[in-house]
Amino acid sequence: MSLAFDAVARWSVDHRWSVVLLILLLSGVSIMGYVDPELVLMRGEDSKGDLITQSPPSGRPARPQVDPFTLSRGDAVLVADSDSFFTPEGAEAMRAVVDDLERLDYVERIVWMDRIPILNIFGLQEPLFPKNEASPERFEEAKQKALNHPLVGGQLLSSDAKTQLLLVTFDPFRVLSDDDATIRLREVAEAAAKKFPDFEVRFQVTGRIPAAIAAIESHESNQLKFQLIGYGVIILMTIILFRGIRAVLIVAMAPGLGVFWTLGVIQFLHYENNPLVDVIVPILVSLVGLTDGVHLMVQIRKLRVAGQTEASAAKLGIQQVGMACFLTSLTTAIGFGSLMLADSQWVREFGACSVIGVGLTFVAVVTVIPFLCSTPLGRNLHVGHEGSLIDRNLDRITIFINTALKRPKLLSAAGIALTIAFFAISFLKLTPDQRQSDGLPERAEATKALHHVDERFGGLEFARVDVYWSDKVPDDSAEILRVVAEIDDYLNTEDLIGHPLSIRNLIDAQPGSGPPEERMTLIDLLPPPLKVAFFEPDRNYSKITFRVQDLGIAKYGPVFERLEEKLATMKAEHPEFHFDLNGAAVWRWENLYQIVVDLAASLGAASVIIFIVLAVVYRSIRLGLISIIPNMFPLVFTGAFLAWLGYSLEIVMVCSFTVCLGIAVDDTIHFLTRYLEEREHHSEQDAIRRAFTGVGTALIMTTTVLVVGFSTVIFSESRDHKIFAMMGALTISAALFGDLIFLPALLAAFGPKRVDTPAHRDSTVM
């Protein structure tokens, strides 16, 4: 392998035109990806969506001929808050709001509490709001009537009668801008309400389309903003740490070019609107490239200080550091590549793009930096090396190495014990979780309104229990109503389940009373749109809907498990019936476990592969085993920290764990590679000290840059990005601690021993 890097070193310095041609070729392919990838590849089938965010398979029967009434089909939800809905001015104002909204050419219809279907086909359509001149007593009666109405109370009107939901359906061919579906709705509603100065009301917009718009807008703004921030961090940190403008330009050139190549090449894959690819990949590729670039540049500058020429320093630099850079890129690619084992399409795309980016950036580092260092740009490259902040204070940091060497067994035992303890805490405390709003910016109106509806209505999202029965059960069987009522009664016992709705509620709203045998016939009194919404006798089907808050599946998992156990018990009691639990929240609960298992499996596979790679390359199983602690410690430390903060295990966290594993091994590899080189001529403890002296500057530099680079993403509006960045910064910091404390101690206590020959003693004295 060293011969290969010798050849790369000679080629990148002695065959400059070949390097230029390679750069131009990769740049040309990337530019074509930016401009029009269709010139090279024909677009395949459209993406089928991501496992995390796509709508789950509904499992619903085919829609009947009659369009069923629904409370969950609106494209947007206008949330209105007021203390005086049931007043003459409040009623008049809300009617004016609805009238003005329906005058918008792209608004198809609005479902609200004053326009719900009648409950009896022989009844008359009667608005729930009385006329403006009605008495206060009449309005109070109307409020109680609305709260008791099965389609209004808890569905369109909160239990305290202070929040209303207006379900807006759009004509998709007339919606011309994102603002039409969000800001303009609220502005029109506010303008209509202002005509009634004594009526105070506040409007917010949420729902399916506003939430999607908020997520896309946040994604697009973050894409540009954090790419610029990432590039700025590279320049700023290298200027601060290198104290030499030439070194800054050369080091920044390689990862910058790697990012340019990566973003161009992945255009051919058509991974549009994937925030992990567009936002995280550029920053991570920049940081990974910068890591190798800093190590290589530090070595070249040291060689220049030692008196080597530009060309010879460039050749020797790649010969001495190239192997470690290759191993770090390989192991990082393994960490990223393991994500491709996941079920989630976004995660798979992220893993594939990361592998491509790491590979292209490695090519940029081992060709561009030696090439530029051997040109006139590399002249006086070492100027400022002596003034480096880290180099000036490296002796102070050596105290960590000396401490580790004085008590190697104690610190080794501490490292092993802490790793096991943190692993146990992470494993026991971090339970799978996922929320509907995870991909939304926290400050977005759609997100705030979503949480508000959760609080007032028990959830904006609906789930359902589907009930099927065999042909042996008559359509008017009382058993159907008894089964539905039993499910409805059970749902009402669960605190996190909000306002179940079924034929039981609609039948109870009919006049009279009696046993199910008598009440079941009243279902024929329901108007067809309302009847087929919950009961389809031709298809032996009925359903019970209920609201679910956006609290995450960690909280709803036990609820759904108890509900499934209840349905299983009912199945045994009613053998002619079959029950299915469905809905987006249920789907996330059923599938997230498998996603986390897949990601955890990929993380475990990456750990095993990295251990095998290091054991093979270093020709020592012992060194491979030693590398496990400093590589796993930062991951389990971060996991324990998240558990201490009360977090659950989310997909973005497992993704971050896998990525950080690939990055965390970089410091370990550079340290071990230098240790083995020094061990050829020095004793074990001296080799450890010299290894730190040789790579310590680069280790601290890269850790600083990585932590600052991850920290830039903390300012993203996306909660997922913030978590990813926090975990990255914390894990990389812990990785440096592990390499400065636990790795030297483990090498001193358990590293391969050799006879201390006179030559070694002489070299130590020297």
Q: 3-state SS of 517-546? A: HHHHHHHHHCCHHHHHHHEEHHHCEEEEEE
- Which pLDDT band holds residue 275 (cuts at 50, 70, 90)? low
DSSP secondary structure code for residue 267 in this structure? G
CA 220, CA 214: separation in Å to the nearest integer?
10
- Which pLDDT band holds residue 383 (cuts at 50, 70, 90)? low
Contact (Cβ atoms closer than 8 angstroms) between residue 338 and residue 418: no
The per-residue pLDDT for 394 is 66
Considering the domain 2-46+213-437+590-765 in this protein, what is its CATH number? 1.20.1640.10
CA 113, CA 123: separation in Å to the nearest integer?
17
9 or 541: whose pLDDT is higher? 541
Residues 237-254 pLDDT 10s: 666 666 667 777 888 888
Half-sphere exposure at residue 611, Cβ-oriented, CA atoms within 13 angstroms: 17
For residue 57, pLDDT over 50 is answered with: no
For the chain, percent of residues with pLDDT exceeding 70: 85
Report the 10 Å Cβ neighbour count for 245: 12
223 CB-near residues (< 8 Å, 6+ apart) = 275, 278, 279
Q: What is the mean pLDDT of residues 587-605?
A: 70
For residue 566, pLDDT over 90 is answered with: yes
Report the 10 Å Cβ neighbour count for 309: 13
Residues 339-356 pLDDT 10s: 777 666 777 888 888 899
Per-position DSSP letters for 99-130, written without gaps between them:
HHHHTSTTEEEEE-TTS---SSTTS----SSP
Q: List the end-to-end C-alpha distance of the chain, in Å, as a whole number.
A: 30
Distance (Å) of CA 194 to CA 14, 77, 101, 186, 199 = 76, 20, 14, 12, 8
For residue 362, give both structure tokens: 């490695």
For residue 182, pLDDT over 50 is answered with: yes
Burial of 738 (0-12, 13-18, 19+ CB in 10 A): buried
The per-residue pLDDT for 621 is 86
84 or 9: whose pLDDT is higher? 84
Half-sphere exposure at residue 580, Cβ-oriented, CA atoms within 13 angstroms: 14
For residue 157, pLDDT over 50 is answered with: yes
CA 274, CA 258: separation in Å to the nearest integer?
20
CA 31, CA 553: separation in Å to the nearest integer?
43
The per-residue pLDDT for 762 is 45
Query: What sign results for the dihedral spanned by CA atoms 174, 176, 178, 184?
Result: negative
- Which pLDDT band holds residue 273 (cuts at 50, 70, 90)? low
For the chain, percent of residues with pLDDT exceeding 90: 32
The per-residue pLDDT for 593 is 63
Q: Which of 411, 535, 420, 532 is nearest to 473 (CA)?
A: 535
- Strand ranges (E), 148-264: 163-170, 202-206
Distance (Å) of CA 281 to CA 53, 236, 344, 549 = 19, 20, 17, 32
- Which pLDDT band holds residue 754 (cuts at 50, 70, 90)? low
Q: Which of 329, 360, 366 is nearest to 33 (CA)?
A: 360
Q: Which of 620, 659, 653 is nearest to 721 (CA)?
A: 653
Report the 10 Å Cβ neighbour count for 622: 15
In this structure, the chain runs to a length of 766
- The CATH 1.20.1640.10 portion of the chain extends over 2-46+213-437+590-765
Distance (Å) of CA 608 to CA 334, 597, 656 = 10, 16, 18
Query: What sign results for the dihedral spanned by CA atoms 315, 316, 317, 321?
Result: positive
Q: At what angle do helices 245-265 and 208-242 cross, to 10 degrees?
A: 150
CA 650, CA 653: separation in Å to the nearest integer?
5
Please write down the long-range contacts of 54-61, taking CB distance under 8 Å and 24 or more positions apart.
55/584, 56/583, 56/584, 56/586, 56/587, 56/588, 56/591, 57/587, 58/582, 59/466, 59/580, 59/582, 60/466, 60/582, 61/536, 61/539, 61/541
Residues 513-525 pLDDT 10s: 777 777 888 888 8
For residue 320, give both structure tokens: 């001495």
Give the three-state DSSP class for 441: strand
Q: What angle do CA 437, 438, 443 make, to 5 degrees?
A: 70
646 or 167: whose pLDDT is higher? 167
Question: For 618, phi and psi rounded to 5 degrees?
Answer: -85, -5
DSSP secondary structure code for residue 718 in this structure? B
Report CA Rg, the chain: 33
Q: Which of 59, 47, 56, 211 is nearest to 595 (CA)?
A: 56
For residue 748, give both structure tokens: 């001193």
The per-residue pLDDT for 196 is 93
| Average pLDDT value over all residues in the chain | 82
For residue 61, pLDDT over 50 is answered with: no
For the question of whether the overall pTM of this predicted structure is more than 0.75, the answer is no
Side chain identity at residue 616, one-letter code: V
Question: For 554, phi and psi rounded to 5 degrees?
Answer: -60, -35
Contact (Cβ atoms closer than 8 angstroms) between residue 297 and residue 66: no
CA 243, CA 235: separation in Å to the nearest integer?
12
CA 434, CA 431: separation in Å to the nearest integer?
10
Tell me the Ramachandran region of residue 438: left when phi exceeds 0, alpha when psi lies from -120 to 50, beta otherwise: alpha
Distance (Å) of CA 247 to CA 189, 240, 324, 446, 698 = 59, 11, 20, 47, 14
Residues 20-32 pLDDT 10s: 899 999 999 999 8
Contact (Cβ atoms closer than 8 angstroms) between residue 181 and residue 76: yes
Q: Which of 335, 345, 426, 265 is nearest to 47 (CA)?
A: 345
- Which pLDDT band holds residue 759 (cuts at 50, 70, 90)? very low
For residue 457, give both structure tokens: 């209505």
For residue 752, pLDDT over 70 is answered with: yes
CA 355, CA 333: separation in Å to the nearest integer?
5
The per-residue pLDDT for 658 is 72
For residue 291, pLDDT over 90 is answered with: no
Please write down the long-range contacts of 575-578, taking CB distance under 8 Å and 24 or more positions apart.
576/469, 576/470, 576/472, 576/473, 576/479, 577/467, 577/468, 577/469, 577/470, 577/473, 577/479, 577/483, 578/467, 578/468, 578/469
CA 579, CA 46: separation in Å to the nearest integer?
34
Question: For 533, phi and psi rounded to 5 degrees?
Answer: -65, -25
Question: For 702, phi and psi rounded to 5 degrees?
Answer: -65, -40
Question: For 109, phi and psi rounded to 5 degrees?
Answer: -160, 160
Q: What angle do CA 280, 283, 288 make, to 5 degrees?
A: 115
